[in-house]
Structure 1
Amino acid sequence: MRNYLLIVLLLSAGCKMQADKIPPKPISGNLKYARGFSIDYTDSLTVIEVYNPWNNYSLLARYNLSNSYLRSSDFATNIIVPVTDAAVLSSTYLGFISILNEHNKVVAASNANWIYDSVLYNNFRTGKIANLGNDLMVSAEAVIGTHPSAVIKYIYQAPDPVDPIIQKAGIPIIYAMEFMEDHPLGQAEWIKLFGALFNKKEYADSVFNQIEAEYFRLVDLAKKSNTSPEVLAGTIYKGTWYAVGGKSYVARLITDANASYYWSIDSSTGSLPLSFEVVIQKQKDADFWLNANTSSLNELFSIEPRCEIFKSFQQEEVYHYNKRQNENGGLDYYESGVARPDLVLRDLLIILHPGLIHGETTYYQKLEH
């Protein structure tokens, strides 16, 4: 589990170094928050463009989606929809697929042993979903061997050398970089791309509209609180504090939960590496600590004894999003949590404004000793 979370941590830290210098891209007319793709519809064709966030949001790929055969094109990848056999190379896509109830369309997945969704995990356990291993080290041969009708994956800064091999085998690759969106609803809006792939446009639109409405209902509710607590957000790895970047989707969630976050003054969209001394100086008296990336306060103390200096640690107001995890440590926060920012925001209101909302959290839990 620690290795899994480390991958996510280092990935977001790497995003910061490149993406922060990129000017924001205008949002497509059919979208409201997502900047990483556009989608346009005609009577017989859906056209999707995906943009490269590491190259000034230049065009990365164009897709023509149709339910019938299309003539080959030098300008777009043709995909017959609905996609029937998908190889999925990021757990974050599974939340969208689950919401759309397309579990049985997945034939292969990276890190399949970490799948949280019960239906998808059972499909893996019974051999219906092949495990392709670590999504950062998937081989083209393993993907091709599962005979998918399409591969859904991301790129990270540079193109993946396995991609041309997969494409040469006649398998289209659909790129999805929802994790580069800096608005929680921007990440959630990628459900519209998955809706197009599985021929569920209207349903995907309806689900997103409900999520959006609930998200802003919670934002308005948070404003009714008489307090705006200070939040410490981040984790420690090998002596370095990785704070949540001030312009990241997590920072936006904290702000929308009517809480203050010191590093909102920063322009980073990923993780912000800091010395522990700086964090103590700036946020020693923060009321709550989120995203601590450990399973207990004792583990946190063993990693960095100076944690006891923080007010949040002393008062045992330390939380992590590991409440829902499978037997191997796979976290639902990285599945349904990506598609359901309204549930994540609800968690934060329960934690940061006790009594404002009654009920249990979905993803976050308080760390015990």
Structure 2
Amino acid sequence: MKRWWRRAAAAIGFVAVLAVPACSAAAPVAERAGAAAAGCISDFDPAADYFPVKSRIEHATNFSLRYERSYQVLTVNQPYPGGASESYVLLKCGAPAPQLPPGLAGAPVIETPVRSLYSESTTQLPLIVDLGVLDVLTGVGNPDYVSGAEVRARIEAGSVVGFAQNQQLNTEQVITEQPDVLLSQGTENPAFPTLRNAGIPVIGWAEYLDSGPLAKAEWIKAMGALTGQEERAAQVFGEIESRYREIAAKAAAAPAVPVVVGNLYQGTWSVPAGGSTTGTLVRDAGGIYSEADNPATGSVQRDFESVYATDGAAAIWLVTQQWQTMADATAADQRYAELPAVKTGQVWNANKRIGPTGGNDFWERGTTHPDEVLADLIAILHPDLVPGHEFVYFQQLGS
């Protein structure tokens, strides 16, 4: 399951060439009728532009979309840490196989809109829900990680199956089910070449390698390209962006509030740098901490004593742990009791929305809905700016 600003538990304590058969004239009449209803091309015109609505990418830097007449090119610059750029040809269903330029030789060809999608990361699920194409989802990596009610209902109904419980991808199952596409969780898996050789395209989905709240949220446009929902994707993202900017403006003129961010993990405290997604959110919420001016996009590894010396006096501590009470926190490490935020009870944990099987919606919906996360943070740091705010992800630890 993906993390918001860093996938490690230490963070903020917060394909083979595939020619997919097009909807050909030889297909049964009922099948062609269904394809037309789904938005497929029924009478191909090589001079026509079949993408009247085109996505513009303004924040995300780890993916791009380029449009041709009958296909799009989705490029993921870094599909996993250190991975080489990968491009995928998204061919409008009903169009003949295109003559691809040399630069796309060997690129997977995926017929769109896809009809069956396997999702390895829970961060992809809210995008599918937001676009209103939940029926396309047929598989999730580990169902226990899923917290969203809409997807959980489909899991319980048997419409969505798990394919990677215990982090072990069931290659035989995926090949048997033959989804139109599998979206990775931004890591390379030794099973992927086998899937690609079996005709199942795998897209290296790595929104977490984009830095910035709105950059991650903008991956809805990549999902819109796969599902034929470009217009809806632009609308949803536009609303998120507008709300984010509106909420951030409320905190812009307020005095900065010192905070402690994160917690220890195996003896190391990963403090998010100011250029990271976490750093941006804390700054936009009106918070300040020792690494806030660090332009790096990752995190700085420190120990308890170092963090205590620079940030320990802060009256507010932000974490993302399983803790429910202060006792849980101090049981994890007795030194936490020395923090003023613990003494005054101002410890806030992003675990308010835990699903029935333990999934945390903060890691799921929160990743691509930063406006909601930002509103929670402003309510913590500047409660007077958002009176009556109803928290979505954060809650205060009990005594």
**1:209 equivalent in structure 2:** 238
Report the equivalent of 2:271. 243
Q: Which residue of 1 aligns with 2:73?
A: 47
Provide closer, same or farther for how the CA distance between residues 193 and 54 of structure 1 changes in structure 2, counting only shifts above 3 A: closer
Structure 2 Cα separation of the partners of residues 199 and 12 of structure 1: 37
Q: Does residue 216 of structure 2 align to residue 218 of structure 1?
A: no
Tell which deviates more after alignment, 73-82 or 332-341.
Answer: 73-82
Q: 1:20 is matched with which residue?
A: none
Please name the residue that 1:282 is paired with: 310
Write out per-residue CA displacement over residues 191-213 of structure 1, whole angstroms, 9 at most, x where no aligned residue: 00001111000010111111111
Does the C-alpha gap of structure 1 residues 42 and 350 become closer, same or farther in structure 2, counting only changes over 3 Å?
A: same
SS of the residue 2:177 aligns to: coil
Identify the residue that residue 10 of structure 1 maps to in structure 2: 8
Are positions 1:261 and 2:302 aligned together?
Answer: no
The amino acid that maps onto 2:360 is: L
For residue 80 of structure 1, report the CA deviation from its aligned partner.
1.1
CA displacement, residues 251-274 of structure 1 (integer Å, 9 cap, x when unaligned): 110011121121124454334331
Question: TM-score scaled by structure 2?
Answer: 0.81
Q: Which residue of 1 aligns with 2:394?
A: 364
**CA contact 1:109–1:132 (8 Å) conserved in 2:** yes
**What is the distance in 1 between the residues matched to 2:359 and 2:166?**
14
Correspondence for 1:308? 337
Q: What residue is the counterpart of 1:119 in the other structure? A: 150
2:26 corresponding residue in structure 1: none
Q: Does 1:298 align with 2:296?
A: no
1:100, distance to aligned residue in structure 2 (A): 0.9
| Aligned-residue offset at 1:47 | 1.7
Tell me by how many angstroms 1:136 deviates: 4.0
* Match for residue 159 of structure 2 among 109, 114, 128: 128
Rg larger for: 2
The aligned residue for residue 124 of structure 2 is 93
The CA RMSD measured in Å over matched residues stands at 2.5
Give the direction of change, closer, same or farther, for the CA distance of 1:125–1:48 in structure 2 (3 Å limit).
same
Q: Which whole-Å deviations, capped at 9, do the CAs of 1:48-94 have from their partners, x for residues lacking one?
A: 11111667785223323312244275242211111111110001101
Q: Aligned equivalents of 2:276 and 2:230: distance in 1?
A: 28
Q: Secondary structure of 1:121's partner?
A: helix
Q: Give SS of 1:62's match.
A: strand
Partners of 1:166 and 1:75 in 2: CA distance:
15
Structure 2 residue 107 is the aligned partner of structure 1 residue 81: no
- The one of 304, 317, 324 equivalent to 2:346 is 317
Taking a change above 3 Å as real, the CA distance of residues 4 and 96 of structure 1, as seen in their structure-2 partners, is closer
Give the distance between the partners of 1:290 and 1:217, measured in 2 at CA.
23
Unaligned runs of 5+ in 2: 12-54
What percentage of residue pairs aligned between the two structures are identical?
Answer: 28
Cα contact 2:80–2:186 (8 A) shared by 1:
no
Question: For 2:213 and 2:10, how far apart are their aligned partners in 1?
Answer: 15
Q: 2:62 aligns with which of 33, 36, 43?
A: 36
3-state SS, counterpart of residue 264 of structure 1: coil
In 1, the alpha carbon distance for the partners of 2:90 and 2:2 equals 34
Greater RCO between the two (CA within 8 Å, min separation 6)? 2
CA 1:39–1:12: 2 relative to 1, 3 Å = farther
Distance of 2:375 and 2:10 partners within structure 1: 23
CA contact (8 A) 1:47 1:63 kept: yes
* Separation of aligned partners in 1, 2:293 and 2:252: 21
* Cα separation, 1, equivalents of 2:9 and 2:73: 29
Match of 1:109 among 115, 140, 145: 140
Letter in 1 for 2:218: E
Alpha-carbon distance between aligned partners in 1 of 2:57 and 2:232, rounded to the nearest angstrom: 15
Please tell me the residue identity of whatever aligns with 1:68: G
After superposition, the C-alpha distances for 1:214-250 in whole angstroms (9 at most, x for unaligned) are 111111111232x210111112223322322332101
Kept in 2, the 8 Å contact 1:65–1:78? The answer is yes
Structure 1 pair 356/265, CA: closer, same or farther in 2 (3 Å)?
closer
1:255 counterpart letter in structure 2: R
Q: Which moved more, 1:39-48 or 1:61-70?
A: 61-70
On the 8 A contact 1:110/1:135 being kept in 2, the answer is: no
Q: 1:42 to 1:4 in 2, by over 3 A?
A: closer
Residue type at the aligned position of 2:63: F
Aligned to 2:34: none
Counterpart-to-counterpart distance in 2, 1:177 and 1:219 = 26
The secondary structure found in structure 2 opposite 1:213 is: helix
